[in-house]
Amino acid sequence: MKNNQSFKGKLSLKSGHTFFGEIFGSFEPQVGEIIFNTSMSGYQEIITDLSYTDQIICFTYPHIGNVGTNEEDLESLSGGCKGIVIREITKITSNWRNKEDLSSFLKKKNITGISGVDTRKLTRILREEGSQPAVISKEKYSENKIQSLFDSFGDLKGKDLAKKVTCKKKYNWDEGSINIEKPEKKFKVVAYDFGVKHNILRLLVDRGCEIKVVSAKTPPEEVLKMNPDGIFLSNGPGDPDPCDYAISSIKVMLEKKLPIFGICLGHQLLGLALGLKTEKMKFGHHGANHPVKDLKTNEVFITSQNHGFTISESSIKNNNNIEVTHRSLFDNTIQGISYKNGKAFSFQGHPEASPGPQDIRGLFDKFIKNMSN
């Protein structure tokens, strides 16, 4: 099925910059925080990653859509980004797994795209001025309506989006990676869903975990009744600071000395539960080529990243209970922490990748080891 219909459109940045192009996918005007992603492949996984909720993605790679979309590469069944900005959408899709072209896929998910944009210029603006609200609309959409969208959107800082995307009720996850035989289930893991990616859950199943996914607001008492061997804190969108319900639950788990593994938003929430602070970054880390250094072994890993908030450097200086385990080699920001008084650790990037390199998947094995001991 192909949806080649398009209209003249525009991308309006709150700072006043305007780019013109062609609208595709959904034709509804969309507002969100615009960021840039440097990944060269994996656009379907990126678009359906719930960590991009209320965001518009500018892809720096010029050709997007060349392999179409399929039913296996979804990182969530519903939700994801608000819109995408690309240099050129390919007219022909070619892949043995292709089920639907990108434009039709976006239309079904009510995601608006705009092509024909100078993404190199746009990326330079975002690097210099920072991520900011933006609107994708048809070209004739009035400035008053665009301003109304900006006013209604506000800013991602202070927004709790985890409660917006979390599951409505708990469920079991039993699907592992393709072509990998499922091992015997040895560990019960409760995964707090703040916007969890499917591939994280697959990798835990691959390692013998029985997964129970619970809502972000599930009380710790209810989780403890499940007798978990470990707690997983998932990725997710928005500002971690207002997620007080999650922070208080994590504090209980720390007191019980349960093994804890956090990724992305889960990493930030663990930090907040341990008394650290978080802050918004100028333009964040979004891509699949980010070098990260393990401070203990001096190994360098190429990692997948997607976050606009980070643990504050100043807040960790006087905290003797926390060890910084990893740092970004792009800007030296904190990428990993470990709690010295228990089996709790976290990583800011995405060791599950999807898309991206698999260099640092060993962190999943560390979680398994912590539960084994």
Active-site choice (267, 285, 326, 350): 350
Integer Cα distance of 300 and 244 in angstroms: 34
Which of 199, 242, 174, 204 lies closest to 49, judged by CA?
199
Higher pLDDT, 318 or 252: 252
Out of 33, 58, 264, 286, the active site residue is 264
| Annotation marks residue 264 as catalytic | yes
> Comparing C-alpha atoms, which of 123, 110, 85, 86 is closest to residue 29?
110
Which of 249, 173, 264, 170 is closest to 215 using CA atoms?
Answer: 170
Residue 5: predicted pLDDT: 65
Q: Is residue 40 a contact partner of residue 61, using CB atoms and an 8 Å limit?
A: yes
CB–CB of 299/277 below 8 Å?
Answer: no
In angstroms, the Cα distances linking 94 to 35, 101, 258 are 28, 9, 47
CATH topology of domain 7-153: Glucose Oxidase; domain 1 (3.50.30)
Q: What's CA 23's distance to the chain center, in Å?
A: 25
Instruction: Give the separation between CA 62 and CA 92, rounded to whole angstroms.
Output: 15
For residue 181, what pLDDT band results from cuts at 50, 70 and 90? confident
pLDDT, tens digit, for every residue of 44-95?
999 999 999 999 999 999 999 999 999 999 999 999 999 999 999 998 999 9
∠ Cα 96 196 243 (to 5°) = 155
- Listed in sequence order, the residues at least 6 apart from 1 whose beta carbon sits closer than 8 Å to its beta carbon are 100, 101, 104
Domain extents for the chain? Answer: 7-153, 162-372
**Residues in the chain, total:** 373
Average model confidence (pLDDT) across the chain: 96
Pick the range with the lowest mean pLDDT from 91-95, 135-139, 301-305: 91-95
CATH of 162-372 among 3.60.20.10, 3.40.50.880, 3.40.50.300, 3.40.190.10: 3.40.50.880
List C-alpha distances in Å: 20 to 33, 58, 135.
18, 14, 12
Active-site residue, 350 included: yes
The one catalytic residue among 33, 45, 75, 352: 352
Structure tokens given for 55: 């965001």
3-state SS class at 140 = coil
Where would I find the beta strands (DSSP E) of 249-341?
260-263, 278-294, 300-311, 322-328, 334-339
> Residue type at 187?
F
Q: Which pTM was predicted?
A: 0.96
> Is 75 labeled as catalytic in the residue annotation?
no
Give CA–CA dist 135/337, Å, rounded: 36
